[in-house]
Amino acid sequence: MKVVAELTIGNPKLPKWSSIHSHISGLGLDDNGKAKPIASGLVGQVEAREACGVIVELIKEGKLGGKGILFAGPSGTGKTALAVAIAKELGEDTPFVSINASEIISAENKTEIMTQAFRRAIGIRMKEVRKIISGVVSELKYIKKSSPFLPQPVLGGARLALETKSDKREFTVGPEVASQLQSFGIRKGDLIMIDAETGEVRRLGRVKERSSFAFDIDTERQVEMPDGKVQTSREIVRTFTLHDIDLSIAAQRAAFTIFGFLSQERGIDDEVRRQTDEMVKKTTQENKAQLVPGILFIDDAHMLDIEAYSYLTKAMESEYAPIIILATNRGITTIRGTDEKAPHGMPRDLLDRLLIILTKPYSQDEIMNIIKIRSDELDVPLTEGALNLLTKIGLERSLRYALQLLDPAKIFSMRRNSIKVDESDVENASKLFSDVKESTTFLEKYKELMIK
């Protein structure tokens, strides 16, 4: 069974957005597993970060089977950030799936949505020796042919000449490959790579000496003229998730039915997943692939019901299970779907399987350092006064609210043609946007006018 990864071409004109945890690169531990006060985008939470470091070691040694992790602490204490940091420590190709418990509870089929989330969080790293054609385009001519259905000629293929410092080859390619060459705007001087088996085309850049004019600043990647054979074999490492393979098998099966137009998601059933598991088991036993346990992070886990908790308890012991990380900010509360109260609103048999890591409120200095890091990440320069005011807001109201004021405050600073946000900008933003406490007070004041 072949699984082919689709080539994704990004749009360089699209703006780059910063997510709330885009600055995190790891847990920020030293060689002895001790947390540095500020490192890898994280601040404080020393005990929690060191506990996460132990978790990473257990995962790497394969000793976390049948267990999960629970982050428990007040809102805004970095629970999601710690989950992201664990995934970063495990490697770039480690699958990380984040889902909110409300998405599971509101789903028509809770079991299916959880099964898909599980399988998206389990990777398989496959090494393949592929026949590759790679070189700089020295000649490119498209072949046109007549069509009985269209008045104008259609693309029938292309003649292509590729060269390196020591080799040159000519090829005739079919319409599928020619169509890719045309859509990517391939021209003379471009360095390209073609998978000889699948026909997948990749543009690797433009050779410097083949460019007619050199720009000081340009978005086009400049590369050196390659050496070696044009046609060769190369080991390629790709990481897929079990869900990717499920989709591939379901799509192939749907192609042979009259219902091929239906959603691929609906085409995934137990038989498809059984085929995937058999293929994965065979390739791993033959040392052609390696399983990559990923992270399944479920936020607001207290919102799950007894049915979902039962699924999680059983799934933790399955052969293909990701690292399950739950997060909650609840204390003693009712387990949804029952009349029983329990810590964090979770069944005790599930809690017994979890390694619980507590996250504590940040100190004033830690809040200040977090605001500094986020302002740098969002490119919001702050005056000392603005930083102090935001720190006070984060301490008295909430850290999340203080961080949310950064971008609105920058708008006010830009309106007065200032390159830095000052206290007045923060004050103006806080007047327009309320925090949870202020909103609650407002609702209480006007409760008689609000629709119940």
Distances (CA, A) of 135 to 92, 158, 213, 263, 407: 28, 16, 21, 39, 46
**Cα separation of 32 and 41, whole Å?**
19
Is residue 342 in a domain? Answer: yes
Is residue 221 in a domain? Answer: no
User: Same structural domain for residues 386 and 436?
Assistant: yes
User: Same structural domain for residues 353 and 375?
Assistant: no
Instruction: Tokens for 6, please give them.
Output: 């689709």
User: Same structural domain for residues 80 and 115?
Assistant: yes
CB-based contacts of 193: which residues, under 8 Å, 6+ apart? 132, 133, 134, 201, 202, 204
Is residue 59 in a domain? Answer: yes
Buried b (16+ CB within 10 A) or exposed e, 392-417: ebbbebbbebbbebbebbbebbeeee
- Residue 267 pLDDT: 64
> What's the CATH number where 440 sits?
1.10.8.60
Tally: H helices and E strands in the chain: 15, 17
Q: Sort strands 231-241 and 289-293 into parallel, antiparallel or unpaired.
A: unpaired
Asked which of 329, 358, 387 is the last residue of a domain, the reply is: 358
Are the C-beta atoms of residues 175 and 157 closer than 8 Å to each other?
A: yes
Is residue 316 in a domain? Answer: yes
Instruction: Tokens for 285, please give them.
Output: 């036993």
Asked which of 339, 358, 377 is the last residue of a domain, the reply is: 358
Are the C-beta atoms of residues 370 and 399 closer than 8 Å to each other?
A: yes
Is residue 160 in a domain? Answer: no
User: Same structural domain for residues 340 and 370?
Assistant: no
CB-based contacts of 447: which residues, under 8 Å, 6+ apart? none
- Using alpha carbons, select from 93, 101, 142 the residue that is nearest to residue 122: 93
- Using alpha carbons, select from 281, 209, 212 the residue that is nearest to residue 245: 281
User: Same structural domain for residues 332 and 373?
Assistant: no
Buried b (16+ CB within 10 A) or exposed e, 223-242: eeebeeebeeeeeeebbbbb
Q: Residue 43: exposed, middle, or buried by beta-carbon count in 10 A (0-12, 13-18, 19+)?
A: buried
Segments forming the whole domain that contains residue 396: 364-445
Is residue 88 in a domain? Answer: yes
**Cα separation of 376 and 410, whole Å?**
12
pLDDT digits (tens, 9 = 90+) for 203-246: 988 887 655 545 554 556 678 888 899 998 887 778 889 998 88
Is residue 259 in a domain? Answer: no
pLDDT in tens, the chain (452 residues): 444 333 333 333 333 344 567 778 899 999 999 999 899 889 999 999 999 999 999 998 888 877 899 999 998 899 999 999 999 999 888 899 999 999 999 988 898 999 999 999 998 888 778 888 999 999 999 998 887 777 788 888 999 999 999 999 999 999 999 999 999 889 999 999 998 888 889 898 888 765 554 555 455 667 888 889 999 888 777 888 999 888 888 887 765 554 444 444 456 888 889 998 898 889 888 888 888 889 999 999 999 999 999 999 888 888 788 999 999 999 999 999 999 999 999 999 999 999 999 999 999 999 999 999 989 988 899 999 999 999 999 999 989 999 999 999 999 999 999 999 999 999 999 999 988 888 878 888 887 887 76
Is residue 128 in a domain? Answer: no
Are the C-beta atoms of residues 18 and 42 closer than 8 Å to each other?
A: no
The torsion angles phi and psi of 336, rounded to 5 degrees, stand at: -60, 135
**Cα separation of 239 and 289, whole Å?**
9
CB-based contacts of 150: which residues, under 8 Å, 6+ apart? none
pLDDT digits (tens, 9 = 90+) for 113-169: 999 999 999 988 887 788 889 999 999 999 988 877 777 888 889 999 999 999 999
User: Same structural domain for residues 342 and 371?
Assistant: no
N-to-C CA span, the chain: 57
User: Same structural domain for residues 404 and 420?
Assistant: yes
Asked which of 310, 325, 358 is the last residue of a domain, the reply is: 358
Number of domains in the chain: 2
Alpha helices by DSSP H, 255-305: 270-285
Secondary structure (3-state) at 444: helix
> What's the CATH number where 44 sits?
3.40.50.300
User: Same structural domain for residues 326 and 379?
Assistant: no
